[in-house]
Chains A and B, each alone.
Chain A
Amino acid sequence: MNTASFQETLDFAIGRERAAVEFYRELTGKAAFAAQKSALAEFMAMEEGHVAMLTGMKSRGAVNLSPGAAVDLGLARRLAAEEEPTAAMDFQDILVAAIKKEERSGDLYRSLVAAALDPDVKAIFERLEAEESRHKRYFEELYETQVARDN
């Protein structure tokens, strides 16, 4: 794989994570009380961590991500279609937004894997897709234990 395409691929992924940071920043702008802001700040910090991680990989010239995808709990597929959280958003609304966002990212990387011609680029996208599946799984578990406790 040439250096240019490696850099481009990582730049793309970093751009996605930065967009995720912005996603939470935007939601924070809508938040009306401390509990909402705290949850959003935590999730935003996680995305900032991902930006830092990918930036580090880019500068080291190697993608150090596990290729193993997380087990799919199948929750994201069943959750109601997108609905923008409002100022009254509760933890369920925030988690659903996070799960759907991770699901979209996973879908995107999956399509990029399918479209990639360069096997090295393909391998990177596969690892990024797996990484997104782990993020989604993290939020799905939170949803299962904190929200849908009785279901």
Chain B
Amino acid sequence: MAVDLAELKGMIEAALPGASVEVFDEDGGGQHLRAVVAAAQFEGLSRIDQHRLVKAAVKTRFDDGTIHALSVKTSVTG
């Protein structure tokens, strides 16, 4: 199944309303994806918890094997 970057971006945005989200396909083959997420909801959370929120948002795409590796870069806004 092809990786749908727009879908992944939408899933993260839905989980973190108001967040600024960019999803990149780093190698062009969908194997190494990178999400850059800035959200006010990250305030007060450890990095690991910030990443947990992002990964949880796209969990179904990990579970169904569409994506294998997602690098995450988070920052707090607001």
The answer to whether A and B assemble together is no
Residues of B within 8 A of A (CB): none
A residues touching B (Cβ–Cβ < 8 Å)? none
